[in-house]
Structure 1
Amino acid sequence: MIKVFLKERWSWIAFFVFMHFFILLVAYLDVSIAISSILYIIFLNSILFFLFLFSRYQREVAFFKELAELNEESGFSELSSASRPFEKMVEISLNEYSDRLKRNYRTQLSYLEDEKDELLAWIHEVKTPMTAMKLMIDRMEDKQLKKQLTYEWLRIHLLLDQQLHRKKIPSIQNDLFMETVDVEELIFAELRTLQSWCIQKGLGFEVELTDKLVISDKKWLSFILRQVLSNAVKYSELGDIEVKSIVESDQMQLSIKDNGRGITPRDLPRIFDKGFTSTISNQTPAATGMGLFLTKKAADALSIGIKVESAPNAGSTFTLIFSKKNEFTGVWSM
């Protein structure tokens, strides 16, 4: 802070030094003026000037330190050291600007909340005709058309579900209900939803679970599994998708391995970034880059670790790591 103060007041110091050099020059040119007296006066002036700078440093730095330590809760009205006119002007200006920002923030927050509520209501309204549409598709006799319509219905269903959870993510902590969950039950429920897509692509699932119970939120864990499983189906071509669980170091690890195109090493660290899709040439044009981003957000909220292993043209393995002793309850899940 001393360096900042000296930089701020360098003009004072430069003017002080210049004036005393000027006085010395006058004394040198005018033989009637005693140099010793001038030097004595300069010495006294230097002491007084140093004391003056020290006093100004103590007063001004206190104000700027207080300004730097302000936070959102305290506000600028807490500037108790603002006693001089310029400091009062700064305080008034900052408070007025802060009030304007807070009003704008409240207005925008209210607008966003209204927009979120309207979108969530719209999504829930759309689910009704989507359910009716599924029932009608199931009654169709034309198998080829039924298969195509079921696939398109599933795409819409997954996109709506992703959008619904995207809007809920910011307030996920208010939506959690931790309980003992049967992972096998959730996996098979998601596989039944993806069944028509898997049949269309000629994919199968090999499920081998040695441990099935974890402590988590059922809704959000279903969402995480849905995203990982749908990604596995989306990028796989023929063959089986393996779903396995093991217990290692008091952790249940659920791995989902596909046989798809894989992920390049340069893309692997970025797959959970918002909006990131892929940098390889055969990337999916319809990809939004939101699925894995939302998956990571939900997993973090549930204290679920995610490990990804992949290589180009060698498939990908997503591993969900559940801690057996969960921080939400502090009890054993088994």
Structure 2
Amino acid sequence: MNFKNYIKDRISLIIIFFLNTLLIILVMYLNLIINHGKFSRENVIYAFIISFVLFLFFMIYDYLKAKPFYNYLNKAANSDDDLDSILNVTGARTYERIMYNRILSKTFKFYSDKLSKYEENQRQYIYFINQWVHQMKTPVSVINLLLQDKNKENYKETLESIFEENEKITHGLEMMLCNARLSQFNLDFKVEKVNILSIIRKVINDNKKSLIRNSIYPKIICEEDITVETDNKWISFVINQILVNAIKYSKDVSDEDKHITFEIKDEGTRTILSIEDQGIGIPKEDRTRVFNAFFTGINGRKTSESTGMGMYLSKRICDELGHGLTFESEKGKGTKFFIIFYKGKNIFKLSKL
């Protein structure tokens, strides 16, 4: 900004100065007339010149003081994608300009953090897509091999195997859709009172064939029907994911009485749903990373079915809904997950939007 533009921006201040000076001279002149005094034209001009010179010195001083900041603004406005020149604020000597500097830095940090989060989500999404596609190739290949089997005597077994592989594809598709919807979670959830027992029974029924095939029997411990405030669809996904994992890591255990226990406890301020299996358990070194994205752990690497996203998505869903999700496990003795439904307050993060 040059001095001409600086004067243009302060034209109102200049007008006020001249009006103020004229009013002062007018008051002095009227006072002398009332008191029968004389006030020569030279005195008026002299007073006006003194005021104008002082004002001019002030304007020049103020411009020189602000000139480095104006140079910065001009450089920033004409720079092309040069963040260093934009963020490197110079000449901020007044409180107003210092505050401008702070606001600019905070704005940059806010959008920088937001961009980093977006880029990380994109990386995770692309990685998940690659993992998911790789995972889906296995059941599709198995189905193709089964369909090419010319032995008609194994017709029933072939259909059962196809159904099993189809379950894996269905579960993979559900996980894929869940991951896609989570980015717009606030547009895709409904808070309501639901009967948690009916949800558990539906999830068990959806996995009935898998439970029977692996000789695992579900047990439900609940004294009465208990309602909780949650989203039916999202919490069903979480419970289903825990059950699928429980089946996957329990099916190879050599135990005639394998079972998965669902227990609901009402503790007044909260309701706790626990899901316990008798599977291989989670090694101690893996327990702190169970809810990390793409973490499969020692157990997950034993099977090609694991993407490492199931419990990560479950944890994110519970966090969004305001529920707790924890677990305890012992290697070789099974795992017990806890979903905690809190009461007596608005627990839903997004219901405030």
- TM-score, normalised to structure 1, is 0.58
Partner residue in 1 for 2:33: none
Deviations 1:141-165 (A, max 9, x none): 9542332122111111100011001
- Decide which of 57, 68, 71 is 1:85's aligned counterpart: 71
Partner of 1:192 in structure 2? 205
Which SS does the other structure have where 2:322 is aligned? coil
Picking from 208, 215, 218, the partner of 1:205 is 218
Alpha-carbon distance in 1 for matches of 2:345, 2:160: 42
Aligned to 1:256: 275
Q: Matches of 1:326 and 1:94 in 2, distance apart?
A: 50
Deviates more, 1:277-286 or 1:294-303: 277-286
Answer whether contact 1:206 1:243 (CA < 8 A) is retained: yes
Structure 2 counterparts to residues 93-242 of structure 1, below 5 A:
93=79, 142-210=155-223, 211-237=225-251, 238=255, 239-242=258-261
Deviations 1:13-45 (A, max 9, x none): xxxxxxxxxxxxxxxxxxxxxxxxxxxxxxxxx
Q: Are the counterparts in 2 of residues 227 and 291 from structure 1 also a CA contact under 8 Å?
A: yes
State the partner residue of 2:29.
none
Hey, what's the Cα distance between the residues in 1 that align with 2:196 and 2:343?
A: 13
Alignment partner of 2:287 out of 263, 268, 282: 268
The structure with the largest alpha-carbon Rg is: 2
- Aligned amino acid, residue 220 of structure 1: W
**What's the CA shift for 1:327?**
1.1
CA distance in 2: counterparts of 1:221 and 1:297, whole angstroms:
11
How far apart are residue 179 of structure 1 and its match? 0.6
Is 1:327 the counterpart of 2:349 in the alignment?
Answer: no
Q: Which blocks of at least 5 consecutive residues in structure 1 are unaligned?
A: 1-58, 61-80, 120-140, 330-334
Q: What residue is the counterpart of 1:126 in the other structure?
A: none
Q: 2:309 aligns with which of 290, 295, 303?
A: 290
Deviations 1:269-302 (A, max 9, x none): 1111111000359632331001011101111111
Pair 1:165–1:326, CA change in 2 (3 A): farther
Contact (CA 8 Å) 2:175, 2:310: kept in 1 or not?
Answer: yes
Change (3 A) 1:192 1:292: same
**Counterpart residue type for residue 330 of structure 2:** A
Among the aligned pairs, what percent are the same residue?
Answer: 26
Q: Tell whether the 8 Å contact from 1:178 to 1:215 is kept in structure 2 after alignment.
A: yes
Does the 8 Å contact 2:300/2:306 carry over to 1? no
- Alignment CA distance shift 1:94-1:202 (3 Å): same
SS of match in other structure, 1:275: coil
Contact 1:262–1:313 (8 Å) recurs in 2: yes
Q: Distance in 1 between matches of 2:343 and 2:72?
A: 60
| Letter aligned with residue 177 of structure 2 | L
User: 1:43 aligns to what?
Assistant: none
State whether residues 277 and 283 of structure 1, in contact with CA within 8 Å, keep that contact through their aligned partners in structure 2.
no
Q: 1-side partners of 2:266 and 2:337: how far apart?
A: 16
Say if 1:82 and 1:258 are closer, same or farther in 2 by CA, change over 3 A.
Answer: farther
Task: Give 1:208 deviation, angstroms.
Answer: 1.2
Tell me the distance in 2 between the aligned counterparts of 1:145 and 1:177: 41
Give distance in 2, aligned partners of 1:319 and 1:294: 15
Report if aligned partners of 2:300, 2:308 keep a CA contact under 8 Å in 1.
Answer: no
Work out the CA distance in 2 between the residues paired with 1:321 and 1:297: 14
Three-state SS of the structure 1 residue aligned to 2:298 is coil
Per-residue Cα deviation, 1:200-228 (whole angstroms, up to 9, x for no partner): 11111011123521011111111111111
The answer to whether the Cα contact below 8 Å between 1:255 and 1:318 also exists between their aligned partners in 2 is: yes
| One-letter amino acid matched to 2:196 | V
Corresponding position: 1:303 with 2:303: no
Given that 1:299 and 1:305 are in contact with CA atoms closer than 8 Å, whether structure 2 keeps it comes out as yes
1:82–1:88 Cα contact (<8 Å) kept: no
